[in-house]
Amino acid sequence: MTRPWAVIAAMFLALGGASAVTGYELAPPRAGEWQEMAWPFPRDGWPAGRAFRCNAVDCGSVIEVYVRPKLGFCNCDSGVADDDEVDRVADIDMISPRFTPLKAGDEVRVAELRGRIRAYEIDRPGGKRAAVGIAVSHRCDLLVAAAQGEGDAALVRRAVLTFLAAPNIKTWMAATMEGR
């Protein structure tokens, strides 16, 4: 004969296990799962930045993010004013010169910096990919981030914003922006 409390306990254990698996699968990627890599782009008028990669197991798809300051490049009064500015400065064109905005961008706050974020579709050898461009400002300086991934733009956006919120990355960004 089965005891009622044993059946109830087994049901709670099964539900708890299912909840834990679901929570793990839906959890945003942790910043520690990103690996720094060499800056992959040719030199231009700005210093090279830092590049990071997160694998599909940790982030839901392979995602790369490229972050760098552009000191003295921002409108000191209005900061990052509109999506056209994000299109121009966020380095999406370094990933691919063929990029198409998916929709209007949004205001974003990264660390203590304010600006805009916008999602794109880019043409790459082997097919189209999702990309995100971020431009945030502090006084007359910009910090830009461009990211690309195999997943959809919403996944790339979530992963990159989580990464940029990591304490070690926020510390680096603040030091970079104050390092004039």
Q: With pLDDT > 90 as the criterion, what percentage of the chain qualifies?
A: 55
Full-model pTM? 0.78
Q: What is the pLDDT averaged over residues 45-68?
A: 93
Contact between 31 and 165 under an 8 Å Cβ cutoff? The reply is yes
Is residue 3 situated within a structural domain? Answer: no
What is the domain-level CATH number for residue 144? 3.40.1000
* pLDDT band at 79; cut points 50, 70, 90: confident
- Read off the pLDDT band of 111 (50, 70, 90): confident
Per the model's pLDDT, the better-predicted residue between 96 and 11 turns out to be 96
- Computed over its alpha carbons, how large is the radius of gyration of the chain? 20
Is 24 a member of any domain?
no
- Higher local confidence (pLDDT), 49 or 32: 49
Residues sharing a CB contact under 8 Å with residue 131, sequence separation 6 or more, in sequence order:
92, 95, 96, 99, 119, 120, 121, 122, 146, 147, 148, 149, 153, 156
Over residues 142-147, the mean pLDDT reads: 94
pLDDT score for 74: 66
Whether residue 11 is contained in a domain is answered as no
Instruction: Answer yes or no: is 16 within a domain.
Output: no
pLDDT at 22 over 70: no
SS3 86: helix
Average of pLDDT values for 51-63?
94
Q: What is the mean pLDDT of the chain?
A: 83
Residue pLDDT, tens place only, 166-177? 999 999 888 888
Range of the domain at 56: 32-178
Does the residue 97 lie in any domain? yes
What pLDDT score does 45 carry?
84
Is-contact 48 41, C-beta < 8 A?
A: yes
Cβ-based neighbours of 48, under 8 Å, separated by 6 or more: 39, 41, 68
pLDDT value, residue 5: 54
Stretch 95-119: mean pLDDT: 93
The stretch 55-68 carries a mean pLDDT of 94
pLDDT of 18 over the 50 cut:
no
- Assigned domain for 23 exists: no
Share of the chain above pLDDT 70, in %: 79
Residue 50, pLDDT score: 95
How many independent structural domains does the chain possess?
Answer: 1
17 in any annotated domain: no
* Residue 43, domain member (yes or no): yes
